[in-house]
Amino acid sequence: MDRLANRIRGRNMVEGESVILAYGNYGGNVFRNGVRMKNHEDAITYRENEIWNFHKDLFHGVPGEKRVRLCGYKVYPKLFMDGKEVPMDISAMDGDVDEAKGSGELEGYRYAWHYDGEDNKLTLFLIEPDGTEWTGFSGYAMGAGWEDDEE
């Protein structure tokens, strides 16, 4: 597979086959307790679902493994609980901003996100009730697919 194909390749962990997600120039990485979780990069929100919508359920980074997922698509965060999107106020990202952030708690899950306009990068933080810590990022010219170009 050539370098461009590596950059646009995503992983469908339900079937173990490739799907296109990291198209263009965006990607991301995800870590659980400091260990990289490649199956949460360019992934669907809830791999447990047998039916998923390609245009709504794929993200560059999907931190979380239990009821809550804090996902990154390009530089935009989305929060999910039990498979349903939970509204978040991301109005701080409206317009051309240098920085935006948000945080909250949802039934014992603590989450935060931070957008850095200078680096065009979204950083995600999620702590599950059992103390498991998830971090991730998504953004322009970084993350899954881009490391392959450096080899």
Q: Show the tokens assigned to 143.
A: 């993350």
- Per-residue pLDDT, 7: 36
- Per-residue pLDDT, 149: 46
Write out residues in the chain with pLDDT < 70, as ranges: 1-24, 47-56, 145-151
Q: 85 to each of 10, 19, 36, how far by Cα in Å? A: 22, 22, 25
Provide the β-strand partners of residue 3: none
